Protein backbone atom coordinates (compact mmCIF):
# COMPACT_ATOMS: atom_id res chain seq x y z
CA UNK A 1 0.00 0.00 0.00
CA UNK A 2 1.71 3.16 -1.21
CA UNK A 3 -1.07 5.62 -0.40
CA UNK A 4 -1.12 6.33 3.33
CA UNK A 5 -4.08 8.70 3.60
CA UNK A 6 -7.43 7.35 4.76
CA UNK A 7 -10.54 9.47 4.34
CA UNK A 8 -13.20 9.45 7.04
CA UNK A 9 -16.59 10.82 6.04
CA UNK A 10 -18.15 13.14 8.62
CA UNK A 11 -21.63 14.57 8.50
CA UNK A 12 -24.37 15.66 10.89
CA UNK A 13 -25.49 12.79 13.18
CA UNK A 14 -22.25 10.89 12.44
CA UNK A 15 -22.01 7.94 14.88
CA UNK A 16 -18.89 8.85 16.86
CA UNK A 17 -18.16 5.46 18.41
CA UNK A 18 -18.09 3.39 15.24
CA UNK A 19 -14.64 4.29 13.95
CA UNK A 20 -12.56 5.13 17.03
CA UNK A 21 -10.57 1.88 17.03
CA UNK A 22 -10.07 2.06 13.28
CA UNK A 23 -8.78 5.60 13.02
CA UNK A 24 -6.69 5.51 16.20
CA UNK A 25 -4.77 2.40 15.18
CA UNK A 26 -4.37 3.49 11.57
CA UNK A 27 -2.81 6.74 12.79
CA UNK A 28 -0.49 4.82 15.11
CA UNK A 29 0.69 2.77 12.11
CA UNK A 30 1.68 5.58 9.80
CA UNK A 31 -1.60 6.47 8.11
CA UNK A 32 -2.99 9.99 8.00
CA UNK A 33 -6.73 10.31 8.59
CA UNK A 34 -8.42 13.22 6.83
CA UNK A 35 -12.07 14.06 7.35
CA UNK A 36 -14.43 14.68 4.45
CA UNK A 37 -17.70 16.54 4.87
CA UNK A 38 -20.53 17.52 2.53
CA UNK A 39 -18.74 20.90 2.55
CA UNK A 40 -16.00 22.25 4.80
CA UNK A 41 -18.62 23.68 7.16
CA UNK A 42 -18.58 22.16 10.66
CA UNK A 43 -20.79 19.15 11.35
CA UNK A 44 -22.20 17.87 14.63
CA UNK A 45 -21.87 14.19 15.50
CA UNK A 46 -24.51 12.06 17.18
CA UNK A 47 -22.58 12.59 20.41
CA UNK A 48 -22.82 16.37 20.07
CA UNK A 49 -19.18 16.89 19.04
CA UNK A 50 -18.54 19.59 16.43
CA UNK A 51 -16.07 18.54 13.75
CA UNK A 52 -14.45 20.67 11.05
CA UNK A 53 -13.98 18.62 7.85
CA UNK A 54 -10.56 18.81 6.21
CA UNK A 55 -12.08 18.85 2.75
CA UNK A 56 -15.41 18.81 0.94
CA UNK A 57 -16.70 15.65 -0.71
CA UNK A 58 -16.49 17.08 -4.23
CA UNK A 59 -12.74 17.62 -3.73
CA UNK A 60 -12.11 13.97 -2.83
CA UNK A 61 -10.46 11.83 -5.51
CA UNK A 62 -10.01 8.05 -5.18
CA UNK A 63 -6.42 8.25 -6.45
CA UNK A 64 -5.50 10.33 -3.39
CA UNK A 65 -6.78 7.77 -0.91
CA UNK A 66 -6.08 4.33 0.54
CA UNK A 67 -9.61 3.93 1.90
CA UNK A 68 -12.94 5.72 2.32
CA UNK A 69 -14.71 5.09 5.65
CA UNK A 70 -18.45 5.71 5.95
CA UNK A 71 -20.16 5.56 9.35
CA UNK A 72 -23.73 5.36 10.45
CA UNK A 73 -25.87 8.48 10.90
CA UNK A 74 -29.57 9.17 11.30
CA UNK A 75 -29.41 11.01 7.99
CA UNK A 76 -28.84 7.81 5.99
CA UNK A 77 -32.48 6.84 6.60
CA UNK A 78 -34.09 10.24 7.15
CA UNK A 79 -33.40 11.82 3.75
CA UNK A 80 -31.17 11.72 0.66
CA UNK A 81 -28.58 14.20 1.98
CA UNK A 82 -25.89 11.52 2.24
CA UNK A 83 -26.54 9.91 -1.17
CA UNK A 84 -23.51 11.76 -2.62
CA UNK A 85 -21.29 9.82 -0.18
CA UNK A 86 -22.66 6.53 -1.52
CA UNK A 87 -22.03 7.77 -5.07
CA UNK A 88 -18.45 8.61 -4.05
CA UNK A 89 -18.13 5.08 -2.65
CA UNK A 90 -19.07 3.78 -6.12
CA UNK A 91 -16.35 5.95 -7.67
CA UNK A 92 -13.82 4.56 -5.18
CA UNK A 93 -14.75 0.95 -5.86
CA UNK A 94 -14.77 1.53 -9.62
CA UNK A 95 -11.22 2.90 -9.25
CA UNK A 96 -10.11 -0.12 -7.21
CA UNK A 97 -9.86 1.83 -3.94
CA UNK A 98 -11.42 0.18 -0.86
CA UNK A 99 -14.49 1.40 1.01
CA UNK A 100 -15.51 0.49 4.56
CA UNK A 101 -19.12 1.07 5.66
CA UNK A 102 -20.69 0.44 9.05
CA UNK A 103 -24.23 0.72 10.40
CA UNK A 104 -26.53 3.03 8.42
CA UNK A 105 -23.90 3.60 5.75
CA UNK A 106 -24.59 0.04 4.58
CA UNK A 107 -28.15 1.12 3.74
CA UNK A 108 -26.76 4.01 1.73
CA UNK A 109 -24.59 1.60 -0.24
CA UNK A 110 -27.56 -0.74 -0.70
CA UNK A 111 -29.60 2.11 -2.20
CA UNK A 112 -26.65 2.88 -4.50
CA UNK A 113 -26.70 -0.74 -5.72
CA UNK A 114 -23.25 -1.54 -4.36
CA UNK A 115 -24.43 -4.55 -2.33
CA UNK A 116 -26.41 -6.25 -5.08
CA UNK A 117 -23.57 -8.59 -6.05
CA UNK A 118 -21.18 -8.55 -3.07
CA UNK A 119 -21.22 -10.50 0.16
CA UNK A 120 -22.11 -8.04 2.92
CA UNK A 121 -23.65 -7.55 6.34
CA UNK A 122 -25.41 -4.84 8.33
CA UNK A 123 -27.50 -4.52 11.49
CA UNK A 124 -30.03 -7.15 10.33
CA UNK A 125 -31.10 -8.37 6.91
CA UNK A 126 -34.54 -6.77 6.98
CA UNK A 127 -32.98 -3.35 7.58
CA UNK A 128 -31.36 -3.56 4.16
CA UNK A 129 -34.43 -5.22 2.63
CA UNK A 130 -36.34 -2.02 3.45
CA UNK A 131 -34.08 -0.12 1.01
CA UNK A 132 -35.50 -2.11 -1.92
CA UNK A 133 -32.07 -3.40 -2.90
CA UNK A 134 -31.58 -6.64 -4.83
CA UNK A 135 -28.69 -8.10 -2.83
CA UNK A 136 -30.52 -10.10 -0.19
CA UNK A 137 -29.02 -13.39 -1.38
CA UNK A 138 -25.57 -12.01 -0.60
CA UNK A 139 -26.38 -10.98 2.97
CA UNK A 140 -24.22 -12.69 5.61
CA UNK A 141 -25.14 -12.93 9.28
CA UNK A 142 -21.64 -11.98 10.45
CA UNK A 143 -19.90 -9.34 12.54
CA UNK A 144 -18.13 -7.88 9.50
CA UNK A 145 -17.65 -8.95 5.88
CA UNK A 146 -15.07 -8.06 3.23
CA UNK A 147 -15.75 -8.71 -0.43
CA UNK A 148 -13.83 -7.21 -3.34
CA UNK A 149 -12.53 -4.09 -1.56
CA UNK A 150 -15.78 -3.44 0.30
CA UNK A 151 -16.04 -3.89 4.07
CA UNK A 152 -19.44 -3.87 5.79
CA UNK A 153 -20.36 -4.21 9.46
CA UNK A 154 -23.31 -3.73 11.77
CA UNK A 155 -23.58 -0.94 14.36
CA UNK A 156 -22.53 -3.10 17.31
CA UNK A 157 -19.29 -4.28 15.72
CA UNK A 158 -16.74 -1.43 15.64
CA UNK A 159 -13.93 -3.80 16.68
CA UNK A 160 -14.71 -6.37 13.97
CA UNK A 161 -14.99 -3.47 11.52
CA UNK A 162 -11.52 -2.25 12.51
CA UNK A 163 -10.12 -5.78 12.19
CA UNK A 164 -11.31 -5.99 8.58
CA UNK A 165 -9.79 -2.58 7.77
CA UNK A 166 -6.45 -3.59 9.33
CA UNK A 167 -6.41 -6.84 7.36
CA UNK A 168 -7.24 -5.10 4.08
CA UNK A 169 -4.59 -2.40 4.54
CA UNK A 170 -1.95 -4.74 5.98
CA UNK A 171 -1.75 -2.97 9.35
CA UNK A 172 -1.84 -6.27 11.23
CA UNK A 173 -1.67 -9.76 9.79
CA UNK A 174 -1.99 -13.34 10.96
CA UNK A 175 -1.31 -13.92 14.64
CA UNK A 176 -1.04 -10.19 15.42
CA UNK A 177 -4.38 -9.43 13.76
CA UNK A 178 -5.99 -12.22 15.77
CA UNK A 179 -4.32 -10.96 18.96
CA UNK A 180 -5.49 -7.39 18.35
CA UNK A 181 -9.07 -8.62 17.94
CA UNK A 182 -8.91 -10.83 21.03
CA UNK A 183 -7.52 -7.99 23.12
CA UNK A 184 -10.04 -5.33 22.09
CA UNK A 185 -13.09 -7.51 21.46
CA UNK A 186 -12.71 -10.22 24.08
CA UNK A 187 -10.56 -8.41 26.68
CA UNK A 188 -8.13 -11.33 26.42
CA UNK A 189 -5.07 -10.08 28.30
CA UNK A 190 -2.94 -12.93 26.95
CA UNK A 191 -3.16 -11.33 23.50
CA UNK A 192 -1.23 -8.25 24.68
CA UNK A 193 2.11 -10.05 24.71
CA UNK A 194 1.67 -11.20 21.11
CA UNK A 195 0.60 -7.78 19.98
CA UNK A 196 3.50 -6.00 21.66
CA UNK A 197 6.22 -8.39 20.45
Structural contact between residues 167 and 173, judged by C-beta atoms closer than 8 angstroms: yes
Cβ–Cβ contacts within 10 Å for residue 24, how many?
A: 12
CA distance 191 to 182: 6
Handedness of CA 14, 16, 21, 25 (dihedral sign): positive
CA distance 100 to 161: 8
CA distance 62 to 35: 14
DSSP reduced 3-state for 110 = helix
Residue 105: CA count within 13 A, CB half-sphere: 32
103 is catalytic: yes
B/e letters for 30-45, b = 16+ CB within 10 Å, e = fewer, are ebebebbbbeeeebeb
- Which member of 70, 102, 103, 110 is catalytic? 103
Catalytic residues: 103
Amino acid sequence: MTRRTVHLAVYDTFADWETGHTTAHLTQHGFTVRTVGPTTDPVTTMGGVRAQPDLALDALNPEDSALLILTGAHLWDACDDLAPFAAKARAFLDAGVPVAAICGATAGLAREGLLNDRAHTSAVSFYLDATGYRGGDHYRDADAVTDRNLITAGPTEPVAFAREVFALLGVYEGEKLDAWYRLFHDSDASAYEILSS
